[in-house]
Structure 1
Amino acid sequence: MINTARRALRGIGLASVLALSLSLSLTACGGSSDDSGGDGANGAAGVEAALDKGGTLTVWAWEPTLKRVVKDFEAAHPKVKIKLVNAGTHDDQYTALQNAVSAGKGVPDVAQIEYYALGQFSLAKSISDLSGFGADKLADTYSPGPWNAVKSGKGVYALPMDSGPMALYYNKKVFDRHGIEVPDTWDGYVEAAKKLHEADPKVYITNDAGDAGFTTSMIWQAGGRPYQVDGTKVSIDFSDAGSTAYATTWQRLIDDKLLAPITSWSDEWYKGLADGTIATLATGAWMPANLMSGAPGGSGSWRVAPLPRWKTGEASSAENGGSALAVPEASGDKALAYAFIEYANAGAGVKSRIKEGAFPATTADLTSKDFLDTKFDYFGGQQANKVFSTSASEVADDWSYLPFQVYANSVFNDTVGKAYASGTRLIQGLADWQKASRTYGTDQGFTVSE
C-alpha cells in the first residue's frame, strides 16, 4: 500500500486558525499585481470581465499535467500570463503556503491542495469560498467523493482536480500459475494471501509497512466514519463497526506474516511489482502511470479488478488520494484565478490532463465512451477505466477528514504503525491514534468529543 512518508504540518490548530483569519483581514498580497480580487459577488460576469482584462497569476502546483493546461489557457486567453511554480509537494507546499499567508506576502493565486488537507485551510479562511463564482452549481459535474471533499458547510473551497477511486491491481500470471481465484471479498483476500505464500514463500499478496491514507480509505469502504466535523467541533472514534472490521481482517495478514515488509515507492517495491513477488495493490485509479514507468517488467501480467467487498455482493468503494485547486483568500485577482481553475478542472483542461495521464473527477469524462473504451497495453489490453469508473460511482459521499488531518497522519506510525513492527494489535493502535488525535485537537482549541 502507499506510504508517502509525510512530514507533519504543525501549528494548524484553532489558535493558528484565528491568527490566520486576523492576518487575512489585514492583507491581500496575492501573486497578481492586479487588485481586482473579490468575493465572487459578480459571479460569471465577473469572471468574464477578469478574462477580458487579463493579468498575471501565480499557481503553486506539483501536478505535471498542469504544464499543458497552462499553455492551452494562455493560448486561449493571450492577455493572461501564468507562473506555474512547484513550491514543493504535499506537506512541503502546505508549510510554504501557511508561512506566506502568515507573512502577508508571496501568497499564490492558486494552490494545489490534497483532499485530506483542505479542511485545515478552509477552516482558517485562508482559501476562498468559490460559491459566488458559480462553483456551487457544479455539484453534478463531479463524482461524489471528490465533490464532498471540497465542500465545507454551505461553502465550496476548491474544485476537484482528480480522483482516486480504489481498485484491486493484481498480477494475473501469478494467480493463474498457482490456480488461485482473484478474491472478491476481504475474507477471500486473506485466504488468497495464505495460498499464494504457501505456494511460493517468495510471493506476498501485497506489501504494507503501515500507511495512514490506506487505513482511512479501508475504513471508509467498510462503512466506518471515525471523524465527524462541524466547524471547530470534531469527534474522533475508531470503535465503530467499519474500523473494527478493517482492523480485525488486516490483523490476520499481519499475524500470519503475509504482508511484504517493503516500503512503497522504494526500488525494492518496484522490483517486487515487476517480478510478481508482490501480487496485488489496493489503491487509487491514478496508479497505472506509476506501474508503467516504475515496473515496466510487469507489463502484460497485471490486470484490474473491483476492490474486494466487506460483504458479498455489496457495492462499496472509497477514494485514495487526489487533490484540488483552491484560490487563497489573499489572491490579488480571485475572479481570474477562478477562471483558470474552472478551465483546468471543469473545462477543456480536463481532457488535456487525461491525455497526459491524469484520472478525472468529472462524471462526464468518467462515463464517456472514449474514456471507458481505452485499452491499456500494460493490463493486457483490458479496458481498465470501466472498473475505475464503476468504483467512482460506488464511493459513499459522507466521509470527513479532520481539520488537522495532516498532523493526525504524522503520528500514525507512532500509534497504528507499531502493529507492523511490534506486538501491538491494530485495534490498540487505532485507540492510541484516536487518543493522540483527540489530545492534539483539544490542545489546539477544538471542541473534541468521542
Structure 2
Amino acid sequence: MHRHIKRRGARLAAIGAIAVGAMALTACGPDVTGGGAEAGDDRLQAPTAQGPEGEITIWDRSGDLFEVFEAAIDDFNEKYPNITVNHEAVDIDAKLQNTLITGTDVPDGVFLDDAKVGGFAEYLWDLSDVLDPYVADIAPQKVDVNSVDGGIYGVPFDLDPGLLWYNAAALESAGVDATQIETYDDLIDAARAYQAAKPGSKPIHLEQSAFLGQLQLEMYANQLGTSIADENGDLRLDSPEYEQILTFLDTVQSEGLGTRAEYLSPTDIAELENGNQVFYPWAIWFSFAPQQLLPETSGDWRAMELPAWEAEGARSGAMGGSSFVLPKDGENSELAWLFYEFLMFDEAGYTAVWGPNDIYPTGLNTSIPSYSPAANPSAPLFEPVDALGGQDLWAVATEAGAQIPGGTPIPSWWAGAVDYLGNDVQRMLDGDLTPDQVLTGSTEAIQTNLIDRQ
C-alpha cells in the first residue's frame, strides 16, 4: 500500500514527467547566460579505457521512478563493476539552476523534463557523438525536443503516446462501438450516440486545468505535426491546425458533450465511475487511473489509438516526457553516459526499467521506451493490464508511439504561456471566447509578454 501511495504521488506530481517543475519556471525560463564550455568543447565523448572505473552522482526525483532506477544499478554494475553510482533523490526544480550557475557540487547526470532541456542547454554536454550509434532508432519526436542549434542535449527516456481511453462496458451497454472511431468527427458522433442512450451524460473529458489543458492541446498539435513554436522558437500558434483543434474542443463544449474537470480530481473520478464520462483522450500515463483510482469500473476500461484529425492521419501525439542530461561541470560525465546508455539502449537495462520488478510487479506500464528496439510491439516489456480487462496495452501503445510525428525543442517560455493560452482555452470552454479569439489574443500576449522580453 505504501508503494502504491508513493507511486500515485510520483505519477500525479510528474504528470507524465513534463508537468513537474515546469510551473516553477519563470515566464522567460531559467537564466542560462554565461557559463559552460567554450565552443568546440561541448561534445561529450564516450570513455575509451577498458574496464572504466570511478564514481558518478546521479540526481532523480523521489518516487516510483527513483526506485526503478535504483534497482537497475545492480544490473548496471554487473556490466561495469568498477563504477560506483551515488543515486540521490533531489528536488531538481529547486536545486538544479543554482547548482549549474555556481558550478558547485554539480551532478554527473540529471533526470529532467523535456520542457527544460533547451533552457539549460548552455550548461549541458552536446550528446550528438555518443548518441550517434542509436539516434536513427530513437523516436524522432524525442530527438527533436532535445535538439538545440544542431546539438542534442538529452538522452531520451520515455515516449508518452496519446491514446483514447474508453469505458468499453458502458459504451457496449449503450450500443456504441468505440472500435469504429477513426476520426475526431467519429468521436463526436459516438459521444452524441452515447448521450442519447444515457441522457445527462457528458461523454468526453474536457480538461479544466489551464496547465494540463495546454499540455493536452500540444498533444493534439503534435499529432498534426505542429507545435506552439517552430524549431527556431518562433511562435506559430495562429494556424489552421490549432484552429481545427480548438474548434473540436469548442464543439464538445457547446453541444454539452464534455465533462469539465481537472485530471483525476474527485469530480473527474466520480464522473468516470458513474458512466457519465466514457472517453478520455490522454497520454499513456492515464493507465494509472483504472489500476489505482477507479475500483468501480476497473476492468471496464480499454485503450486505443487516438482518432485521426483527417483520414489516414497520425493516430497519436506525444503528451509529456523526460530525458537525462549530463552537465558539463560534472566530474565524471563520460561515466554517467555509460549509465544512461545502459538503461536506455542495452537490453538488460531497458528490461530492468520497463519489465517486471519489485516496484512494478507486472512492469512499468505508464510509458514506453523511446528507443525502437526496446519498443518492439511483438516483444512486450510489461504484461497485459488486468484493470484494462487483460488488454495488451504494450501493443496498443507501441503501435501508437510509432505514429507520433517529429517535434521541435520546447521553448523556455512554454510554462509562462499557460497564463495566456492555457487560460484562454479555459475561457473558451466557459463560452467567453471563440477559437479565433483564443488564437489571436494568445498569440499577441505570448509574443509581447514572453518572447519579446527575453
TM-score (normalizing by structure 1): 0.84
Report the 3-state secondary structure (helix = DSSP H, G, I; strand = E; otherwise coil) of the residue aligned with 1:273.
helix
Structure 2 match to 1:384? 393
Report the 3-state secondary structure (helix = DSSP H, G, I; strand = E; otherwise coil) of the residue aligned with 1:228.
coil
User: Equivalent residues in 2 for 1:67-106 (5 A)?
Assistant: 67-88=70-91, 93-106=92-105
1:10 pairs with 2:26: yes
Per-residue deviation, 1:95:
4.3
Counterpart-to-counterpart distance in 2, 1:154 and 1:324: 17
8 A Cα contact 1:220 1:242, kept in partner: no
Gaps of 5+ in 1: 27-37, 446-450
Query: CA deviation digits over 1:390-431, x for unaligned, max 9?
Result: 211111114443232232245444333322335122332233
Per-residue deviation, 1:225:
4.2
Query: In structure 1, which of residues 367, 371, 390 is the aligned counterpart of residue 376 of structure 2?
Result: 367
Report the 3-state secondary structure (helix = DSSP H, G, I; strand = E; otherwise coil) of the residue aligned with 2:86.
strand
Query: In structure 1, which of residues 188, 191, 196 is the aligned counterpart of residue 189 of structure 2?
Result: 191
8 A Cα contact 1:217 1:319, kept in partner: yes
Per-residue deviation, 1:75:
4.9
Structure 1 match to 2:413? 404
1:173 pairs with 2:169: yes
Per-residue deviation, 1:156:
1.5
8 A Cα contact 1:8 1:407, kept in partner: no
Per-residue deviation, 1:435:
2.0
Counterpart-to-counterpart distance in 2, 1:327 and 1:290: 33
Counterpart-to-counterpart distance in 1, 2:252 and 2:451: 34
User: Equivalent residues in 2 for 1:57-68 (5 A)?
Assistant: 57-62=57-62, 63-64=65-66, 65-68=68-71
1:23 pairs with 2:35: yes
Query: In structure 1, which of residues 126, 130, 152 is the aligned counterpart of residue 127 of structure 2?
Result: 130
Report the 3-state secondary structure (helix = DSSP H, G, I; strand = E; otherwise coil) of the residue aligned with 2:323.
strand
Query: CA deviation digits over 1:16-68, x for unaligned, max 9?
Result: 232xxx23459xxxxxxxxxxx8556x3344x56x622213132334342222
Structure 1 match to 2:149? 153
Q: What amino acid sits opposite 2:222 in the alignment?
A: W
8 A Cα contact 2:163 2:304, kept in partner: yes
Counterpart-to-counterpart distance in 1, 2:215 and 2:239: 18
Q: What amino acid sits opposite 2:170 in the alignment?
A: V
Query: CA deviation digits over 1:306-334, x for unaligned, max 9?
Result: 21011123344211112111112221211
RMSD: 2.8
8 A Cα contact 2:205 2:258, kept in partner: yes
Quickly say closer, same or farther: Cα 1:81–1:409, change in 2 above 3 A: farther
TM-score (normalizing by structure 2): 0.83
Query: CA deviation digits over 1:242-298, x for unaligned, max 9?
Result: 111101111101112322121113233234334433212212223323431222432
Report the 3-state secondary structure (helix = DSSP H, G, I; strand = E; otherwise coil) of the residue aligned with 2:242.
helix
Query: CA deviation digits over 1:53-97, x for unaligned, max 9?
Result: 221313233434222223432454343333333323xxxx33421
8 A Cα contact 1:13 1:404, kept in partner: yes
Quickly say closer, same or farther: Cα 1:380–1:212, change in 2 above 3 A: same
Percentage of matched positions with identical amino acids: 20
1:257 pairs with 2:256: yes
Counterpart-to-counterpart distance in 2, 1:418 and 1:217: 20
Report the 3-state secondary structure (helix = DSSP H, G, I; strand = E; otherwise coil) of the residue aligned with 1:119.
helix
Q: What amino acid sits opposite 2:395 in the alignment?
A: K
Quickly say closer, same or farther: Cα 1:136–1:254, change in 2 above 3 A: same
Quickly say closer, same or farther: Cα 1:237–1:11, change in 2 above 3 A: closer
Quickly say closer, same or farther: Cα 1:235–1:111, change in 2 above 3 A: same
8 A Cα contact 2:168 2:300, kept in partner: yes
Counterpart-to-counterpart distance in 2, 1:313 and 1:364: 25
Quickly say closer, same or farther: Cα 1:203–1:442, change in 2 above 3 A: closer
Counterpart-to-counterpart distance in 2, 1:313 and 1:398: 19
Structure 2 match to 1:288? 287
User: Equivalent residues in 2 for 1:304-383 (5 A)?
Assistant: 304-347=303-346, 348-355=348-355, 356-357=363-364, 358-371=367-380, 374-383=383-392
Query: CA deviation digits over 1:360-402, x for unaligned, max 9?
Result: 1121122252318943222222222222112111111144432
Per-residue deviation, 1:146:
1.7
Structure 1 match to 2:219? 217
8 A Cα contact 1:169 1:304, kept in partner: yes
Structure 2 match to 1:30? none
